[in-house]
Amino acid sequence: MTMASSKKESPLDTALTQLRRAIDQLGLSENDWNTLSTPRRILEVAVPLRRDDDRVEMYKGYRVQYSTTRGPSKGGVRFHQDIDLDETVALAMLMTWKCALTNLPYGGAKGGVAVNPSQLSERENERLTRRYTSEILPIIGPERDIPAPDVGTDERNMAWMMDTYSVNAGYSVPGVVTGKPIVLGGSLGRTSATGDGVAIAVCEALRQKKIAQDGATVAIQGFGKVGYWAALALEKLGLKVVAVSDVKGGVTGFSSVESLQKFARENGTVVGAPGTETLTNTELLHLPVDVLVPAALADSITHSTAPGIKAKVVVEGANAPTTPQGDQVLNDKGILVVPDILANSGGVIVSYFEWVQDKQNFFWSADEVKENLNSIMMRAINEVAETSVSKKVTWREAANMIGVGRVAQAHRLRGLYP
Ligand code: NAD
Protein backbone atom coordinates (compact mmCIF):
# COMPACT_ATOMS: atom_id res chain seq x y z
CA MET A 1 0.00 0.00 0.00
CA THR A 2 1.44 3.41 -0.93
CA MET A 3 0.32 6.72 0.48
CA ALA A 4 0.42 10.21 -0.91
CA SER A 5 2.43 12.46 1.41
CA SER A 6 -0.53 14.81 1.90
CA LYS A 7 -2.74 11.98 3.20
CA LYS A 8 -2.84 11.59 6.98
CA GLU A 9 -1.34 8.23 7.82
CA SER A 10 -3.66 6.29 10.13
CA PRO A 11 -2.41 3.56 12.48
CA LEU A 12 -4.30 1.02 10.34
CA ASP A 13 -2.55 2.25 7.16
CA THR A 14 0.75 1.94 9.03
CA ALA A 15 0.02 -1.57 10.30
CA LEU A 16 -1.18 -2.81 6.88
CA THR A 17 1.83 -1.27 5.12
CA GLN A 18 4.16 -3.09 7.51
CA LEU A 19 2.26 -6.37 7.12
CA ARG A 20 2.38 -6.16 3.30
CA ARG A 21 6.12 -5.60 3.48
CA ALA A 22 6.65 -8.56 5.82
CA ILE A 23 4.55 -10.82 3.56
CA ASP A 24 6.60 -9.77 0.53
CA GLN A 25 9.94 -10.12 2.34
CA LEU A 26 8.98 -13.59 3.59
CA GLY A 27 7.82 -14.60 0.11
CA LEU A 28 4.36 -15.54 1.45
CA SER A 29 1.35 -15.97 -0.84
CA GLU A 30 -1.73 -13.87 -1.52
CA ASN A 31 -3.67 -16.46 0.49
CA ASP A 32 -1.44 -15.61 3.45
CA TRP A 33 -2.05 -11.88 2.89
CA ASN A 34 -5.82 -12.47 2.76
CA THR A 35 -5.74 -14.50 5.97
CA LEU A 36 -3.37 -12.29 7.92
CA SER A 37 -4.78 -8.90 6.91
CA THR A 38 -8.29 -9.73 8.18
CA PRO A 39 -9.36 -9.41 11.83
CA ARG A 40 -11.14 -12.56 13.06
CA ARG A 41 -13.81 -11.10 15.31
CA ILE A 42 -15.01 -7.53 15.86
CA LEU A 43 -17.55 -6.54 18.48
CA GLU A 44 -18.87 -2.98 18.58
CA VAL A 45 -21.06 -2.15 21.55
CA ALA A 46 -23.01 0.78 22.93
CA VAL A 47 -22.03 1.53 26.50
CA PRO A 48 -24.65 3.53 28.41
CA LEU A 49 -23.43 5.47 31.42
CA ARG A 50 -25.57 7.07 34.12
CA ARG A 51 -23.62 10.18 35.15
CA ASP A 52 -23.56 11.27 38.77
CA ASP A 53 -26.16 13.97 37.97
CA ASP A 54 -28.54 11.31 36.52
CA ARG A 55 -27.96 12.17 32.84
CA VAL A 56 -27.58 9.06 30.66
CA GLU A 57 -24.86 9.19 28.00
CA MET A 58 -23.95 6.65 25.32
CA TYR A 59 -20.38 5.75 24.42
CA LYS A 60 -19.00 3.49 21.69
CA GLY A 61 -17.01 0.48 22.86
CA TYR A 62 -15.00 -2.05 20.88
CA ARG A 63 -13.29 -5.40 21.28
CA VAL A 64 -11.30 -6.70 18.34
CA GLN A 65 -9.88 -10.23 18.38
CA TYR A 66 -7.47 -10.00 15.51
CA SER A 67 -6.13 -13.53 15.80
CA THR A 68 -6.67 -16.63 17.92
CA THR A 69 -4.50 -18.93 15.84
CA ARG A 70 -1.66 -19.34 18.38
CA GLY A 71 -3.84 -19.23 21.52
CA PRO A 72 -6.41 -17.03 23.23
CA SER A 73 -6.32 -13.43 22.12
CA LYS A 74 -4.70 -10.87 24.40
CA GLY A 75 -4.56 -7.09 24.45
CA GLY A 76 -5.23 -3.87 26.31
CA VAL A 77 -8.35 -1.83 26.94
CA ARG A 78 -8.03 1.85 26.07
CA PHE A 79 -10.24 4.65 27.38
CA HIS A 80 -9.59 7.62 25.10
CA GLN A 81 -11.94 10.03 23.37
CA ASP A 82 -10.25 9.59 19.95
CA ILE A 83 -10.25 5.82 19.58
CA ASP A 84 -12.22 4.31 16.73
CA LEU A 85 -12.63 0.91 15.16
CA ASP A 86 -9.77 1.32 12.64
CA GLU A 87 -7.24 2.18 15.32
CA THR A 88 -8.46 -0.67 17.53
CA VAL A 89 -8.03 -3.11 14.63
CA ALA A 90 -4.52 -1.75 14.01
CA LEU A 91 -3.52 -2.15 17.66
CA ALA A 92 -5.00 -5.67 17.79
CA MET A 93 -2.95 -6.57 14.71
CA LEU A 94 0.24 -5.28 16.37
CA MET A 95 -0.54 -7.37 19.47
CA THR A 96 -0.75 -10.45 17.23
CA TRP A 97 2.76 -9.98 15.82
CA LYS A 98 4.10 -8.95 19.26
CA CYS A 99 2.87 -12.13 20.96
CA ALA A 100 4.28 -14.24 18.12
CA LEU A 101 7.63 -12.39 18.15
CA THR A 102 8.03 -13.02 21.88
CA ASN A 103 6.72 -16.58 21.44
CA LEU A 104 3.85 -16.20 23.90
CA PRO A 105 0.99 -18.68 23.34
CA TYR A 106 -1.49 -15.94 22.40
CA GLY A 107 -3.21 -14.35 19.46
CA GLY A 108 -3.81 -10.60 19.53
CA ALA A 109 -6.66 -8.32 20.61
CA LYS A 110 -7.45 -4.75 21.61
CA GLY A 111 -10.47 -2.95 22.96
CA GLY A 112 -11.66 0.26 24.43
CA VAL A 113 -14.28 2.91 24.90
CA ALA A 114 -14.32 6.29 23.12
CA VAL A 115 -14.45 8.34 26.31
CA ASN A 116 -12.23 10.86 28.06
CA PRO A 117 -11.67 9.19 31.45
CA SER A 118 -10.35 12.39 33.01
CA GLN A 119 -13.91 13.76 32.77
CA LEU A 120 -15.41 10.87 34.74
CA SER A 121 -15.72 10.63 38.50
CA GLU A 122 -14.36 7.47 40.10
CA ARG A 123 -17.90 6.04 40.43
CA GLU A 124 -18.72 6.90 36.80
CA ASN A 125 -15.49 5.25 35.68
CA GLU A 126 -16.44 2.12 37.63
CA ARG A 127 -19.97 2.00 36.15
CA LEU A 128 -18.61 2.50 32.62
CA THR A 129 -15.96 -0.20 33.09
CA ARG A 130 -18.48 -2.69 34.46
CA ARG A 131 -21.03 -2.03 31.70
CA TYR A 132 -18.35 -2.28 28.98
CA THR A 133 -17.18 -5.57 30.52
CA SER A 134 -20.70 -6.93 30.61
CA GLU A 135 -21.22 -5.97 26.93
CA ILE A 136 -18.08 -7.84 25.81
CA LEU A 137 -18.53 -10.66 28.35
CA PRO A 138 -19.61 -13.31 25.82
CA ILE A 139 -16.29 -13.16 23.98
CA ILE A 140 -13.74 -12.74 26.81
CA GLY A 141 -12.45 -15.26 29.33
CA PRO A 142 -9.17 -16.83 30.46
CA GLU A 143 -9.28 -19.35 27.59
CA ARG A 144 -10.70 -16.92 25.00
CA ASP A 145 -9.46 -13.36 25.29
CA ILE A 146 -7.66 -11.70 28.19
CA PRO A 147 -7.81 -7.88 28.46
CA ALA A 148 -5.18 -5.73 30.24
CA PRO A 149 -4.62 -2.01 30.94
CA ASP A 150 -3.67 0.45 28.19
CA VAL A 151 -3.94 4.21 27.77
CA GLY A 152 -6.49 5.66 30.22
CA THR A 153 -7.03 2.45 32.22
CA ASP A 154 -5.12 0.93 35.11
CA GLU A 155 -5.30 -1.74 37.79
CA ARG A 156 -8.53 -0.28 39.25
CA ASN A 157 -10.29 -0.89 35.93
CA MET A 158 -8.86 -4.41 35.80
CA ALA A 159 -10.19 -5.11 39.33
CA TRP A 160 -13.71 -3.99 38.24
CA MET A 161 -13.48 -6.06 35.04
CA MET A 162 -12.37 -9.13 37.00
CA ASP A 163 -15.18 -8.63 39.52
CA THR A 164 -17.87 -8.13 36.84
CA TYR A 165 -16.78 -11.28 35.01
CA SER A 166 -16.54 -13.27 38.25
CA VAL A 167 -19.97 -12.18 39.54
CA ASN A 168 -21.47 -13.43 36.27
CA ALA A 169 -19.53 -16.71 36.43
CA GLY A 170 -20.48 -17.26 40.06
CA TYR A 171 -16.91 -17.72 41.26
CA SER A 172 -13.60 -15.81 41.16
CA VAL A 173 -11.90 -15.82 37.77
CA PRO A 174 -8.64 -13.89 38.23
CA GLY A 175 -7.21 -15.08 34.89
CA VAL A 176 -9.80 -13.15 32.83
CA VAL A 177 -7.67 -9.98 32.92
CA THR A 178 -4.05 -9.13 33.66
CA GLY A 179 -2.57 -6.01 35.20
CA LYS A 180 -4.70 -6.57 38.32
CA PRO A 181 -3.83 -5.42 41.84
CA ILE A 182 -1.50 -7.92 43.53
CA VAL A 183 -4.09 -8.90 46.17
CA LEU A 184 -6.50 -10.02 43.42
CA GLY A 185 -3.99 -12.29 41.70
CA GLY A 186 -1.85 -9.69 39.98
CA SER A 187 1.83 -10.34 39.39
CA LEU A 188 4.75 -8.68 41.07
CA GLY A 189 6.57 -6.56 38.50
CA ARG A 190 3.57 -6.07 36.16
CA THR A 191 3.16 -2.35 36.89
CA SER A 192 6.68 -1.50 35.82
CA ALA A 193 7.03 -4.29 33.22
CA THR A 194 6.56 -2.32 30.00
CA GLY A 195 8.94 0.42 31.17
CA ASP A 196 11.46 -2.16 32.43
CA GLY A 197 11.32 -3.85 29.02
CA VAL A 198 11.83 -0.51 27.25
CA ALA A 199 14.94 0.00 29.42
CA ILE A 200 16.29 -3.44 28.41
CA ALA A 201 15.73 -2.52 24.74
CA VAL A 202 17.44 0.87 25.18
CA CYS A 203 20.56 -0.74 26.69
CA GLU A 204 20.78 -3.32 23.90
CA ALA A 205 20.31 -0.67 21.20
CA LEU A 206 23.09 1.44 22.74
CA ARG A 207 25.35 -1.62 22.81
CA GLN A 208 24.66 -2.21 19.11
CA LYS A 209 25.53 1.42 18.37
CA LYS A 210 28.63 1.20 20.60
CA ILE A 211 27.41 4.11 22.76
CA ALA A 212 28.30 3.95 26.46
CA GLN A 213 25.25 3.33 28.62
CA ASP A 214 26.59 5.28 31.57
CA GLY A 215 25.58 8.91 31.16
CA ALA A 216 23.80 8.38 27.83
CA THR A 217 21.09 11.03 27.44
CA VAL A 218 17.40 10.20 26.99
CA ALA A 219 14.24 12.14 26.10
CA ILE A 220 10.88 10.50 26.76
CA GLN A 221 7.55 11.58 25.25
CA GLY A 222 4.69 10.49 27.56
CA PHE A 223 4.98 10.15 31.32
CA GLY A 224 2.29 7.55 32.01
CA LYS A 225 2.49 3.85 32.82
CA VAL A 226 5.16 3.26 30.16
CA GLY A 227 7.10 6.54 30.14
CA TYR A 228 7.42 6.95 33.90
CA TRP A 229 8.62 3.41 34.62
CA ALA A 230 11.00 3.50 31.64
CA ALA A 231 12.44 6.80 32.91
CA LEU A 232 12.88 5.39 36.40
CA ALA A 233 14.53 2.17 35.17
CA LEU A 234 16.88 4.06 32.83
CA GLU A 235 17.90 6.49 35.58
CA LYS A 236 18.71 3.51 37.85
CA LEU A 237 20.83 2.03 35.05
CA GLY A 238 23.00 5.17 34.96
CA LEU A 239 21.48 6.93 31.95
CA LYS A 240 20.53 10.59 32.15
CA VAL A 241 16.85 11.33 31.49
CA VAL A 242 17.08 14.96 30.37
CA ALA A 243 13.50 15.63 29.20
CA VAL A 244 10.03 14.16 29.54
CA SER A 245 6.60 15.32 28.41
CA ASP A 246 2.90 14.61 28.73
CA VAL A 247 -0.16 15.80 26.83
CA LYS A 248 0.26 19.34 28.25
CA GLY A 249 3.94 19.76 27.23
CA GLY A 250 7.48 18.83 28.24
CA VAL A 251 10.15 19.84 30.74
CA THR A 252 13.92 19.73 31.12
CA GLY A 253 16.10 20.52 34.12
CA PHE A 254 14.38 18.34 36.78
CA SER A 255 16.58 16.87 39.49
CA SER A 256 15.25 13.29 39.42
CA VAL A 257 12.51 11.20 37.80
CA GLU A 258 11.02 10.48 41.25
CA SER A 259 10.72 14.15 42.19
CA LEU A 260 9.12 14.92 38.83
CA GLN A 261 6.65 12.07 39.27
CA LYS A 262 5.70 13.40 42.70
CA PHE A 263 4.96 16.81 41.16
CA ALA A 264 3.04 15.25 38.24
CA ARG A 265 0.92 13.15 40.60
CA GLU A 266 -0.07 16.21 42.60
CA ASN A 267 -0.55 18.58 39.65
CA GLY A 268 -1.74 16.33 36.82
CA THR A 269 1.17 17.32 34.56
CA VAL A 270 4.96 17.64 34.53
CA VAL A 271 4.67 21.20 33.24
CA GLY A 272 5.56 23.76 35.88
CA ALA A 273 7.69 21.46 38.05
CA PRO A 274 10.07 23.58 40.20
CA GLY A 275 13.40 24.40 38.59
CA THR A 276 12.39 23.14 35.14
CA GLU A 277 12.17 24.78 31.76
CA THR A 278 9.18 24.09 29.55
CA LEU A 279 9.33 22.84 25.96
CA THR A 280 6.78 21.61 23.43
CA ASN A 281 6.34 17.96 22.52
CA THR A 282 7.89 18.62 19.11
CA GLU A 283 10.88 20.38 20.69
CA LEU A 284 11.35 17.31 22.90
CA LEU A 285 11.44 15.05 19.83
CA HIS A 286 14.18 17.24 18.33
CA LEU A 287 16.55 17.39 21.34
CA PRO A 288 20.18 16.36 20.71
CA VAL A 289 20.02 13.21 22.87
CA ASP A 290 21.39 9.70 22.45
CA VAL A 291 18.00 8.02 22.92
CA LEU A 292 14.46 9.10 22.10
CA VAL A 293 11.58 7.11 23.60
CA PRO A 294 8.13 7.94 22.19
CA ALA A 295 5.83 6.56 24.92
CA ALA A 296 2.56 8.44 24.35
CA LEU A 297 0.25 7.82 21.39
CA ALA A 298 0.38 6.77 17.73
CA ASP A 299 1.59 8.95 14.86
CA SER A 300 4.09 11.04 16.79
CA ILE A 301 7.08 10.56 14.45
CA THR A 302 5.85 11.52 10.99
CA HIS A 303 7.19 12.91 7.70
CA SER A 304 7.02 16.35 9.32
CA THR A 305 8.54 15.63 12.77
CA ALA A 306 11.12 12.95 11.78
CA PRO A 307 13.53 15.22 9.84
CA GLY A 308 14.39 17.18 13.02
CA ILE A 309 15.17 14.12 15.14
CA LYS A 310 18.81 14.01 16.28
CA ALA A 311 18.77 10.94 18.56
CA LYS A 312 20.99 8.02 17.56
CA VAL A 313 18.50 5.48 18.80
CA VAL A 314 14.67 5.55 18.87
CA VAL A 315 13.01 2.99 21.16
CA GLU A 316 9.25 2.81 20.66
CA GLY A 317 7.52 2.57 24.04
CA ALA A 318 4.18 3.53 22.46
CA ASN A 319 2.32 1.44 19.91
CA ALA A 320 2.64 2.69 16.31
CA PRO A 321 4.31 6.02 17.21
CA THR A 322 6.11 6.16 13.84
CA THR A 323 4.38 6.39 10.47
CA PRO A 324 5.95 4.60 7.47
CA GLN A 325 7.10 7.96 6.09
CA GLY A 326 8.59 8.96 9.44
CA ASP A 327 10.28 5.55 9.59
CA GLN A 328 11.85 6.08 6.17
CA VAL A 329 13.34 9.39 7.33
CA LEU A 330 14.81 7.76 10.47
CA ASN A 331 16.28 4.89 8.43
CA ASP A 332 17.82 7.31 5.91
CA LYS A 333 19.49 9.14 8.82
CA GLY A 334 20.99 5.85 10.09
CA ILE A 335 19.01 5.99 13.35
CA LEU A 336 18.50 2.57 14.94
CA VAL A 337 14.76 2.13 15.60
CA VAL A 338 13.71 -0.56 18.09
CA PRO A 339 10.12 -1.20 16.94
CA ASP A 340 7.09 -1.14 19.23
CA ILE A 341 6.32 -4.86 19.02
CA LEU A 342 9.77 -5.56 20.45
CA ALA A 343 10.48 -2.51 22.64
CA ASN A 344 7.18 -2.45 24.55
CA SER A 345 6.65 -6.22 24.75
CA GLY A 346 7.62 -6.29 28.46
CA GLY A 347 4.00 -5.53 29.37
CA VAL A 348 2.45 -8.51 27.61
CA ILE A 349 5.32 -10.78 28.69
CA VAL A 350 4.65 -10.12 32.39
CA SER A 351 0.89 -10.25 31.69
CA TYR A 352 1.55 -13.75 30.41
CA PHE A 353 3.39 -14.55 33.67
CA GLU A 354 0.38 -13.20 35.60
CA TRP A 355 -2.02 -15.42 33.62
CA VAL A 356 0.22 -18.47 34.18
CA GLN A 357 0.40 -17.72 37.92
CA ASP A 358 -3.42 -17.29 38.08
CA LYS A 359 -3.93 -20.61 36.26
CA GLN A 360 -1.61 -22.39 38.68
CA ASN A 361 -2.59 -20.45 41.82
CA PHE A 362 1.11 -20.27 42.52
CA PHE A 363 2.85 -16.91 42.66
CA TRP A 364 6.40 -15.97 41.77
CA SER A 365 8.92 -13.73 43.50
CA ALA A 366 9.82 -10.35 42.00
CA ASP A 367 13.25 -11.74 41.10
CA GLU A 368 11.73 -14.67 39.17
CA VAL A 369 9.52 -12.26 37.21
CA LYS A 370 12.48 -10.01 36.41
CA GLU A 371 14.74 -12.88 35.38
CA ASN A 372 12.13 -14.44 33.09
CA LEU A 373 11.23 -11.05 31.57
CA ASN A 374 14.87 -10.41 30.84
CA SER A 375 15.41 -13.80 29.25
CA ILE A 376 12.35 -13.61 26.95
CA MET A 377 13.13 -10.05 25.88
CA MET A 378 16.80 -10.77 25.26
CA ARG A 379 15.92 -13.83 23.16
CA ALA A 380 13.56 -11.72 21.02
CA ILE A 381 16.06 -8.84 20.74
CA ASN A 382 18.84 -11.22 19.65
CA GLU A 383 16.57 -12.90 17.10
CA VAL A 384 15.63 -9.52 15.65
CA ALA A 385 19.25 -8.29 15.58
CA GLU A 386 20.43 -11.51 13.87
CA THR A 387 17.59 -11.48 11.33
CA SER A 388 18.30 -7.83 10.59
CA VAL A 389 21.89 -8.75 9.68
CA SER A 390 21.18 -12.02 7.84
CA LYS A 391 18.26 -10.62 5.77
CA LYS A 392 19.75 -7.10 5.44
CA VAL A 393 16.59 -5.47 6.77
CA THR A 394 15.78 -2.93 9.51
CA TRP A 395 14.94 -4.05 13.05
CA ARG A 396 11.29 -3.24 12.39
CA GLU A 397 11.24 -5.37 9.26
CA ALA A 398 13.06 -8.18 11.06
CA ALA A 399 10.60 -8.10 14.00
CA ASN A 400 7.62 -8.13 11.65
CA MET A 401 9.10 -10.96 9.58
CA ILE A 402 9.55 -13.11 12.70
CA GLY A 403 6.11 -12.32 14.17
CA VAL A 404 4.14 -12.54 10.92
CA GLY A 405 6.12 -15.62 9.83
CA ARG A 406 5.19 -17.50 13.03
CA VAL A 407 1.48 -16.69 12.70
CA ALA A 408 1.52 -17.70 9.00
CA GLN A 409 3.22 -20.97 9.90
CA ALA A 410 0.65 -21.67 12.64
CA HIS A 411 -2.16 -21.03 10.12
CA ARG A 412 -0.61 -23.44 7.65
CA LEU A 413 -0.12 -26.18 10.24
CA ARG A 414 -3.67 -25.86 11.61
CA GLY A 415 -5.11 -25.86 8.08
CA LEU A 416 -8.36 -24.30 6.92
CA TYR A 417 -11.62 -25.56 8.43
CA PRO A 418 -13.68 -27.14 6.94
P1 NAD B 1 -0.98 6.23 30.00
O2 NAD B 1 -2.39 6.68 29.80
O3 NAD B 1 -0.58 5.67 31.31
O4 NAD B 1 0.03 7.44 29.66
C5 NAD B 1 0.02 8.11 28.45
C6 NAD B 1 0.95 9.31 28.55
O7 NAD B 1 1.02 9.97 27.28
C8 NAD B 1 0.48 10.38 29.54
O9 NAD B 1 1.60 10.97 30.18
C10 NAD B 1 -0.20 11.41 28.64
O11 NAD B 1 -0.27 12.71 29.20
C12 NAD B 1 0.71 11.35 27.45
N13 NAD B 1 0.08 11.85 26.22
C14 NAD B 1 -1.18 11.62 25.77
N15 NAD B 1 -1.38 12.28 24.61
C16 NAD B 1 -0.23 12.93 24.34
C17 NAD B 1 0.17 13.78 23.29
N18 NAD B 1 -0.66 14.10 22.30
N19 NAD B 1 1.43 14.27 23.33
C20 NAD B 1 2.27 13.94 24.32
N21 NAD B 1 1.95 13.14 25.34
C22 NAD B 1 0.71 12.66 25.34
O23 NAD B 1 -0.70 5.18 28.82
P24 NAD B 1 0.44 4.07 28.79
O25 NAD B 1 -0.11 2.81 29.30
O26 NAD B 1 1.70 4.64 29.32
O27 NAD B 1 0.59 3.87 27.21
C28 NAD B 1 1.41 4.71 26.40
C29 NAD B 1 1.67 4.01 25.07
O30 NAD B 1 2.33 2.75 25.32
C31 NAD B 1 0.43 3.64 24.27
O32 NAD B 1 0.74 3.72 22.90
C33 NAD B 1 0.15 2.21 24.67
O34 NAD B 1 -0.62 1.50 23.71
C35 NAD B 1 1.57 1.69 24.74
N36 NAD B 1 1.74 0.47 25.54
C37 NAD B 1 1.32 0.42 26.84
C38 NAD B 1 1.54 -0.74 27.57
C39 NAD B 1 1.16 -0.85 29.03
O40 NAD B 1 1.48 -1.89 29.64
N41 NAD B 1 0.55 0.14 29.63
C42 NAD B 1 2.15 -1.85 26.97
C43 NAD B 1 2.58 -1.76 25.65
C44 NAD B 1 2.37 -0.57 24.95
Instruction: Give alpha helix (H) positions in 209-323.
Output: 227-236, 257-267, 281-285
User: Is the model's pLDDT at 292 over the cut of 90?
Assistant: yes
- Helix, strand or coil for residue 353? helix
Whether pTM > 0.95 for this model: the answer is yes
Angle at alpha carbon of residue 258, lines to 191 and 276, rounded to 5°: 130
- Helix, strand or coil for residue 211? coil
- Please work out whether the CB of residue 247 comes within 6 Å of at least one atom of ligand 1: yes
User: Is the model's pLDDT at 152 over the cut of 90?
Assistant: yes
| Residues β-bridged to residue 252 | 243, 277
- Please work out whether the CB of residue 250 comes within 6 Å of at least one atom of ligand 1: no
* pLDDT given for residue 318 in this prediction: 98
At 177, is the pLDDT very low, low, confident or very high (cuts 50, 70, 90)?
Answer: very high
The closest-lying atom of ligand 1 relative to the alpha carbon of residue 317 is 30
Section 391-400 average pLDDT: 98
Is the distance from CB of 396 to CB of 339 less than 8 angstroms? yes
User: Cα(78) to centroid of ligand 1, in Å?
Assistant: 10
| Atom 30, ligand 1: residue with shortest CA distance | 318
- Please work out whether the CB of residue 223 comes within 6 Å of at least one atom of ligand 1: yes
User: Is the model's pLDDT at 1 over the cut of 70?
Assistant: no
User: Cα(281) to centroid of ligand 1, in Å?
Assistant: 14
Section 71-76 average pLDDT: 98
Instruction: Using most ligand atoms within 8 A of CB, pick from 64, 88, 116, 150 the residue to mutate for ligand 1.
Output: 150
Convert the pLDDT of each residue in 261-285 to its tens digit. Answer: 999 999 999 999 999 999 999 999 9
- Percent of all residues in the chain with a pLDDT value above 70, rounded to a whole number: 98
* pLDDT given for residue 3 in this prediction: 37
At 10, is the pLDDT very low, low, confident or very high (cuts 50, 70, 90)?
Answer: confident
Instruction: Using most ligand atoms within 8 A of CB, pick from 104, 200, 225 the residue to mutate for ligand 1.
Output: 225
User: Is the model's pLDDT at 320 over the cut of 60?
Assistant: yes
Query: What order do you get walking across the sheet with 249-252 strand by strand?
Result: 277-279, 249-252, 240-246, 217-221, 291-294, 313-315, 336-338
At 8, is the pLDDT very low, low, confident or very high (cuts 50, 70, 90)?
Answer: low
Convert the pLDDT of each residue in 338-382 to its tens digit. Answer: 999 999 999 999 999 999 999 999 999 999 999 999 999 999 999
* pLDDT given for residue 270 in this prediction: 98
